[in-house]
Chain A
Amino acid sequence: MNEKLSYQVTVNGVAFDVDADRDANLLSLLRDQVGLTGTKQGCDDCECGACMVLVDGRPVNSCSYLAVQTGGRDVTTIEGLAEDDELHPIQQAMLDHAGVQCGFCTPGMIMSAHALLETTPKPSIEEIRIGLSGNLCRCTGYQSILNAIGSAANAAD
């Protein structure tokens, strides 16, 4: 059953009218219909976190979430964090602390970190580890990412 459904979803503050297969996942909606490719397809099986976005401010693996369930909701992707030419503090910290190597996991890492800092503005290292525990990185060994998130949290007041 893959009937086309029409609904509206707000992505990074902009309302989009979409027509999508009922079974379309949120990841494909964002990449193929809305045209935002910052959200990555990694494992495509809810394991690696490369597809992490926020739905109404809370983290969601967009590969394994039905797009139609975001109808009328607010989705935030990596493209929604920077303001004009100014990187979001978490993005800047990832650069400053070399939390990026190949970069494929980075959008998902940053979205998970963003969700964490919204609810826990001054996390312990353990809380950062738990906050990022649904995101895999095969390059950095994680320490530089933890340093970046910790630094972004400390810089915010």
Chain B
Amino acid sequence: MSASFLQAASVDEALAALDAGARPIAGGTDLVVGARQGKAPLPAALVAIDRLDDELGSISDNPDGSLTIGSLVNHLRLMSEPLVVERATALADGAALIGSPATRNVGTIGGNVMNASPAMDTGAALAVLGATVHLRSASGPDRILELDELWTGPGTTTARPDELCVGLSLPARPPRSGSAYLRLEYRRAMEIAVVGAAASISLSADNLVETVSIALTAVAPTILAVEGTAALAGRAVDTNLLDQVAALASEQARPIADLRASERYRRHTVGVMARRALEAAAERAQGIKLGVPVNRNKGIGVSL
């Protein structure tokens, strides 16, 4: 259309524009709002990728049990798509907490991941589900990155400017698995996580821990994967285990203090979120249906 705005008709056309220095825009929920708040002006050249649904808008159930999620899939679809709700429930929990219906309609998972906010509601969920990010460029081979290889700080990633996030992969989960994401919030919509935590767990036939992963939201420069959970294998999901996970989360958190919460409050409450997320994940692993988002089932934002 012009030098400053191109409506891409294909991923290849978008990649060529990125190679020439343009920046991508899908829904613009971060880019346009940020520009209007004065954080950063809109880039000199934009390439709109919002009509590439044929190439970037699918959720696929692969033969090996993994899920592939196109970068243009919006939060509304993530929270309601049965494949996601059943197999990546924490991701549905996170998507359902984002903004309002309008935000969830316009905002995309690719934009959320590449914006790299440590407070993003889908990030901890993707981390505990072992997501990898697919980057494509005009000049080189595709790159597939782990999340901790991608995110380097608030708003910063290792993606090159000519690379486009085309999607995410979530590996197959064992049977008797469950996941959940919770956040502490001061209001129920149009909110940013004060802190949050995601958990994923797989259980043996006698309900002992086989694997467990915990990741934390808004307590470090990036989404933070909790270390030391491998040692929990073989344990029952009881009060002792939940206490230990809450303590690990609080100890490893490196929160800031700001107008939303003090450092001490964030450190304490992220442990509470980790405990409740693991409890919810373990219930789901045992086949107990907890609605999406699970925040309400776990006592956060319940109507009086």
User: A42 within 8 Å of B by Cβ?
Assistant: no
Q: Taking CB as reference atom, which chain B residue is nearest A51? A: B102
Compute the total of residue contacts between A and B using a CB distance below 8 Å. 86
Chain A contacts of B35 at CB under 8 A?
23
Instruction: Out of B2, B28, B46, B99, name the residue touching A134 (CB < 8 Å).
Output: B99
Q: Taking CB as reference atom, which chain A residue is nearest B50? A: A69
Q: Chain B: interface residue count, which band?
A: 20 to 34
Q: Taking CB as reference atom, which chain B residue is nearest A61? A: B102
Q: Taking CB as reference atom, which chain B residue is nearest A125? A: B303
CA distance A85 to B213 in the complex (A): 59
Instruction: Out of B45, B46, B189, name the residue touching A133 (CB < 8 Å).
Output: B189
Mask of B90-127 contacts with A, CB within 8 angstroms, 1/0: 00000000011111011000000000000000000000
User: A107 within 8 Å of B by Cβ?
Assistant: no
Q: Are the CB atoms of A134 and B29 closer together than 8 Å?
A: no
CA distance A121 to B42 in the complex (A): 39
CA distance A125 to B101 in the complex (A): 16
Q: Are the CB atoms of A22 and B5 closer together than 8 Å?
A: yes
Mask of B257-282 contacts with A, CB within 8 angstroms, 1/0: 00000000000000000000000000
Q: Are the CB atoms of A1 and B50 closer together than 8 Å?
A: no
Chain A contacts of B33 at CB under 8 A?
45-46, 64
Interface of B is mostly: loop
Chain A contacts of B25 at CB under 8 A?
66, 69
User: B188 within 8 Å of A by Cβ?
Assistant: yes
CA distance A60 to B28 in the complex (A): 11
User: B3 within 8 Å of A by Cβ?
Assistant: yes
Q: Are the CB atoms of A71 and B7 closer together than 8 Å?
A: yes
Instruction: Out of B3, B4, B36, name the residue touching A64 (CB < 8 Å).
Output: B36
CA distance A52 to B101 in the complex (A): 11
Cβ distance A112 to chain B, nearest Cβ, rounded Å: 7
User: B304 within 8 Å of A by Cβ?
Assistant: no
Q: Are the CB atoms of A5 and B100 closer together than 8 Å?
A: no
Q: Are the CB atoms of A45 and B37 closer together than 8 Å?
A: yes
Q: Are the CB atoms of B102 and A52 closer together than 8 Å?
A: yes
User: B190 within 8 Å of A by Cβ?
Assistant: yes
Q: Are the CB atoms of A64 and B2 closer together than 8 Å?
A: no
User: A116 within 8 Å of B by Cβ?
Assistant: yes
Chain B contacts of A130 at CB under 8 A?
101, 189
Contact status of A134 and B103, CB under 8 A, knowing A64-B29, A64-B33, A65-B32: yes
Q: Are the CB atoms of B7 and A59 closer together than 8 Å?
A: no
Instruction: Out of B4, B36, B37, B190, name the residue touching A22 (CB < 8 Å).
Output: B4
Q: Are the CB atoms of B189 and A69 closer together than 8 Å?
A: no
Question: 21 A-B contacts, Cβ less than 8 Å apart?
Answer: A5-B1, A5-B5, A22-B2, A22-B42, A22-B46, A59-B105, A61-B102, A61-B106, A66-B32, A69-B25, A69-B28, A112-B101, A115-B101, A130-B189, A133-B100, A133-B101, A133-B188, A133-B189, A134-B101, A134-B103, A134-B189
6 tightest CB-CB pairs across the interface, nearest first?
A134-B100, A133-B189, A59-B102, A58-B105, A1-B44, A3-B4
Residues of A within 8 A of B (CB): 1, 3, 5, 7, 22-23, 25, 44-47, 49, 52, 58-61, 63-66, 68-69, 71, 112, 115-116, 130-131, 133-135
